[in-house]
């Protein structure tokens, strides 16, 4: 390791608090191939941290070497930082830790007959002796910052420092479900994580049943980049983003860019200022990461930010969409006598399944019929129920019976013992909004080429803003060109927005963007722009719809993940069950 590299890295190398020590030591244990790691904390780690692992250990010479600065064998050049699998890359941790506390290490490899005991106090020369001990390494760090009272003063109360230690272990534990990890305080077990091959199991142990019972798998890839992990259903949210964990090539990363990418698909599904729980692993070819970012800062810069952004947003979006029709539609027809009669209910489910099967798979409607022999029906239906797309026990919009339009705005339906009103504008708005989001994630825009490019004059201020959101338009399927000092020409638009008033749209977007200002994140800007597009592109109130148009709308509502509110949060439909009507008419 060169000196330049060493100093580059050493600059940010600070043992801030007990949790920093816990993190470094547990990383070392993981690097040493430990399958069991036990951590004991006294006074939140301030008084002592004891870490025992069953990893490969060190022989006499390496044990001594480990306390010399930059003695790592794990990396050789700065560029390799992200190429390596191991977590350590600094050869700095042990000497740094030893310089701020009283440290004792006991270690033995399988090959060496005797173990080594090493004692260092506040960075003095180590005292080394032979000692009996099992294979693996035990490190005890006592009296953190005893030699630097000024820093010691900055430590928080025991419970706070202990929480930081547990957080540090939690991050590492998420990345290594195959390792048994325990954390104990004198009178309490803080974490007890048996080894498992199932990440979801570890998540459930770390976060409790709240997340554990509302968990959705995520799996996606884009080129050489892969994404996997788990997210919480929209019904499980938290008031802060602390339960969002991202790992890039195994390394924990806390980065606003990724946080934004994660939040985008949740936006407008969960309440404002609420956060999901997320554990995501992103694996990127090392060459695609810009390593010119300090490794200890938990940030990362991707060469191809947008690709990663889309992968994260798209992967999570898909997972949510897969799950959403069930949860959100369940409330659509939640009441009614059908629910009270299991047999009737079953038939309902059967019919719904068949319809849904047809809608989702695009497949031919299954050939067996409902009045065929019971066994046969049961068998085939069971098969249908077993596949994911056919499990819903709920209704579809497309099975509603259209009765007419009221006040040029509300579509009136009957179906499933209810009277259903749909706001045509709100419904179409939501459909367009979801489609625009999908287009921008999947790069799947269907463009409509304008025969004559539409030239739009902007004010100089609007034109200045245009540059900031231009890529969002392009993402959605617009082709635009800038002309002269304040003119843009639109050459094509997303097909779903055919007929939209571009002049108005661009002016409104500029207006909105200047209102939200530069502080707005890309997602907020995107959300704003897409909802404006959706609003402008959607069927208006007081617009006559014919039957095929109504049917189309219903079908599209069935296909989108979120069909209960428009992007502004207004309801898309209102439903009166027979019960409710009967109550209103005082029949009950
Ligand atoms: P780094 O992890 O960056 O290599 P450290 O200062 O954390 O630097 O550790 C120095 C060296 O000590 C490591 O490279 C490793 O060889 C050895 N080492 C540290 N902790 C352990 C451990 N728990 N088990 C086996 N070897 C260890
Ligand atoms: Mg290390």
- Regarding the beta carbon of 91 and ligand 1, being less than 6 Å apart is answered yes
**Contact of 570 with 423, CB cutoff 8 Å:** yes
Q: What is the pLDDT of residue 325?
A: 52
Closest C-alpha residue for ligand 1 atom 7: 93
The Cβ of residue 458 has, within 10 Å, a number of other Cβ atoms equal to: 19
Q: Is the CB of 55 under 6 A from ligand 1?
A: yes
For every residue of 485-553, which 3-state class applies, written as one string?
Answer: CCEEEEEEEEHHHCCCCHHHHHHHHHHHHHHHCCCCCHHHHHHHHHHHHHHHHCCCCCCCCCHHHHHHH
Q: Whose alpha carbon is nearest atom 10 of ligand 1?
A: 66
| Domain range annotation of the chain | 3-185, 200-322, 395-588
Q: Whose CA is nearest to atom 19 of ligand 1?
A: 28
pLDDT of 336 over the 50 cut: no
Tokens of 268: 């407008």
With a cut of 80, say whether residue 343 has pLDDT above it: no
Q: How far is the CA of 168 from the centre of ligand 1 (A)?
A: 18
Nearest to 94 by CA among 53, 141, 161: 141
Residues 399 and 415: beta-carbon distance below 8 Å: yes
- Best residue for ligand 1 mutational test, from 28, 104, 111 (most atoms within 8 Å of Cβ): 28
- In angstroms, the CA 1 to CA 84 distance is 14
- Neighbouring residues of the ion ligand 2, judged by CB less than 5 Å: 28, 88, 93
- 57 CB near ligand 1 (under 6 Å): yes
Side-chain-side CA neighbours of residue 315 (13 Å): 28
Q: Which ligand is nearest to the CA of 97?
A: 1
Whether 3-185 shares its CATH topology with 200-322 is answered no
Report how far apart, in Å, the C-alpha atoms of 275 and of each of 208, 267, 371 are.
Answer: 16, 9, 47
Residue 10: pLDDT over 50: no
- Could you read off the pLDDT of 457-480 as tens digits, one per residue? 887 777 878 888 888 888 888 899
- Separation of alpha carbons 285 and 226, rounded Å: 10
Tokens 């091959």 -> residue: 197
Structure letter (DSSP) for residue 81: T
Q: Considering Cα of 331, then 332, then 337, then 343, what sign does the dihedral take?
A: negative
Average pLDDT over residues 214-242: 90
Return the number of other C-beta atoms located less than 10 Å from residue 437's C-beta: 27
What would the mean pLDDT of 550-565 be, rounded to a whole number? Answer: 81
**Ligand 1 proximity of 94 Cβ (cutoff 6 Å):** yes
**pLDDT category of residue 305 using cuts at 50, 70 and 90:** confident
The residue written with tokens 């938290």 in the block is: 238
Tell whether ligand 1 has an atom less than 6 A from the beta carbon of residue 74. Answer: yes
Mean pLDDT score across all residues of the chain: 79
Q: CATH fold of 395-588, please?
A: formyl-coa transferase, domain 3 (3.30.1540)
**In 208-303, which ranges are continuous DSSP H helix?**
209-212, 256-266
C-alpha 245 – ligand 1 centre gap (Å): 25
Residue ranges of the alpha helices (H) in 110-241?
Answer: 149-153, 158-175, 199-207, 209-212
pLDDT of residue 321: 80
Distance CA 301, CA 256 (A): 11
Q: How far is the CA of 448 from the centre of ligand 1 (A)?
A: 59
84: CA distance to ligand 2 center in Å?
A: 13
Backbone angles phi, psi at 519, to 5 degrees: -65, -25
CA of 65 to the centre of ligand 1 (A): 9
Task: Tell me phi and psi for residue 180, to 5 degrees.
Answer: -75, 130
Residue 91 has pLDDT above 70, yes or no: no
Percent share of the chain, pLDDT over 90 = 33
Distance 112 CA to ligand 2 centre (A): 22
pLDDT at 202 over 50: yes
Give mean pLDDT, residues 378-383.
43
**Sequence-separated (6 or more) residues with CB below 8 Å from residue 2:** 77
Q: Give domain 200-322's CATH architecture.
A: 2-Layer Sandwich (3.30)
136 lines ligand 1 (CB under 6 A): no
392 pLDDT more than 50: no
Q: Which of 88, 93, 100, 108 to mutate to test the pocket of ligand 1 (most atoms within 8 A of CB)?
A: 88
Q: Is 90 in the pocket of ligand 1 (CB under 6 A)?
A: yes
- pTM equals 0.59
Ligand 2 centroid to Cα of residue 90, in Å, is 7
Cβ of residue 89 lying under 6 Å from some atom of ligand 1? yes
Domain 3-185: which CATH class? alpha beta
pLDDT band at 356 (very low <50, low <70, confident <90, very high): very low
Cα 106 from chain centroid (whole Å): 40
Please give the structure tokens belonging to residue 386: 């077993």
Ligand 1: does its nearest atom lie under 6 Å from the Cβ of 20? Answer: no
Average pLDDT, integer, range 318-342:
47
Nearest 5°: CA angle at 112, between 107 and 114?
A: 65
Query: Which residue has its alpha carbon closest to ligand 1 atom 17?
Result: 66
For 299-351, the three-class secondary structure string (H helix, E strand, C coil) is CCEECCHHHHHHHHHHHHHHHHHHHHHHHHHHCCCCCCHHHHCHHHHHHHHHH
Pairing of strands 136-142, 102-108: antiparallel
Query: Is residue 294 pLDDT above 90, yes or no?
Result: no
Task: Give me the pLDDT at residue 274, please.
Answer: 82
CB atoms within 10 A of CB 287: 12
Instruction: Name beta bridge partners: 448.
Output: 493
- State mean pLDDT over 190-199: 93
- Candidates 24, 81, 83, 80; CA nearest to 53 is 24
What crossing angle do the helices spanning 522-537 and 502-516 adopt, rounded to 10°? 150
Per the listing, tokens 């019919």 go with 351
CB 473 within 8 A of CB 510: no
* pLDDT-based confidence at residue 238 (cuts at 50, 70, 90): confident
24 CB within 6 A, ligand 1:
yes
């Amino acid at each position: 390791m060169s000196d330049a590299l060493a100093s580059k890295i050493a600059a940010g190398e600070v043992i801030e608090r007990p949790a920093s020590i816990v993190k470094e030591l547990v990383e070392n244990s993981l690097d040493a191939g430990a399958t069991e790691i036990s951590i004991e904390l006294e006074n939140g780690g301030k008084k002592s941290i004891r870490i025992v692992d069953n990893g490969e250990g060190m022989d006499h010479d390496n044990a001594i070497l480990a306390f010399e600065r930059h003695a790592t064998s794990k990396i050789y050049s700065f560029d390799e930082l992200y190429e390596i699998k191991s977590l350590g890359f600094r050869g700095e941790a042990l000497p740094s830790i030893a310089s701020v506390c009283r440290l004792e290490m006991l270690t033995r490899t399988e090959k060496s007959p005797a173990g080594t005991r090493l004692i260092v106090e506040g960075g003095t020369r180590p005292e080394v002796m032979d000692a009996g001990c099992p294979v693996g390494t035990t490190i005890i760090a006592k009296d953190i910052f005893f030699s630097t009272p000024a820093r010691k003063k900055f430590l928080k109360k025991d419970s706070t420092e202990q929480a930081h230690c547990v957080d540090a272990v939690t991050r590492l534990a998420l990345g290594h479900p195959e390792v048994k990890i325990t954390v104990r305080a004198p009178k309490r077990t803080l974490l007890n994580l048996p080894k498992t091959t199932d990440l979801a199991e570890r998540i459930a142990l770390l976060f409790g049943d709240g997340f554990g019972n509302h968990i959705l798998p995520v799996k996606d890839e884009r080129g050489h980049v892969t994404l996997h992990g788990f997210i919480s259903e929209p019904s499980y949210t938290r008031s802060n983003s602390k339960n969002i964990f991202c790992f890039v090539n195994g390394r924990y990363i806390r980065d606003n860019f990724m946080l934004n990418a994660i939040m985008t698909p949740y936006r407008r599904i969960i309440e404002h200022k609420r956060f999901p729980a997320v554990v995501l692993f992103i694996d990127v070819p090392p060459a695609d990461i810009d390593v010119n970012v300090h490794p200890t800062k938990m940030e990362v810069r991707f060469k191809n930010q947008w690709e990663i952004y889309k992968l994260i947003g798209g992967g999570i979006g898909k997972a949510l969409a897969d799950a959403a029709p069930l949860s959100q539609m369940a409330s659509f027809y939640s009441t009614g006598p059908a629910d009270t009669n299991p047999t009737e209910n079953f038939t309902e489910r059967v019919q719904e399944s068949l319809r849904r099967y047809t809608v989702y798979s695009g497949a031919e409607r299954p050939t067996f019929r409902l009045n065929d022999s019971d066994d046969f029906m049961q068998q085939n239906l069971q098969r249908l129920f077993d596949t994911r797309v056919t499990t819903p026990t709920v209704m579809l919009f497309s099975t509603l019976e259209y009765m007419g339009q009221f006040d040029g705005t509300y579509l009136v339906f009957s179906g499933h013992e209810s009277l259903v009103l749909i706001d045509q504008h709100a419904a179409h708005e939501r459909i367009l909004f979801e489609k625009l989001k999908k287009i921008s994630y999947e790069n799947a825009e269907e463009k409509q080429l304008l025969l004559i490019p539409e030239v739009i004059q902007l004010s100089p201020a609007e034109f200045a803003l245009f540059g900031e959101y231009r890529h969002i338009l392009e993402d959605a399927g617009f082709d635009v060109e800038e002309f002269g000092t304040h003119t843009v020409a639109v050459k094509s638009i997303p097909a779903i927005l055919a007929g939209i008033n571009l002049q108005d749209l661009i002016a409104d977007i500029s207006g909105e963007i200047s209102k939200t200002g530069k502080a707005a994140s890309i997602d907020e800007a995107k959300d704003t722009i897409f909802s404006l597009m959706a609003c402008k592109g959607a069927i208006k109130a007081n617009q006559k719809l014919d039957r095929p148009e109504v049917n189309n709308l219903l079908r599209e509502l069935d296909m989108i993940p979120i069909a209960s509110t428009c992007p502004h949060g207004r309801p898309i439909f209102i439903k009166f069950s027979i019960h409710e009507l009967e109550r209103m008419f005082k029949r009950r």
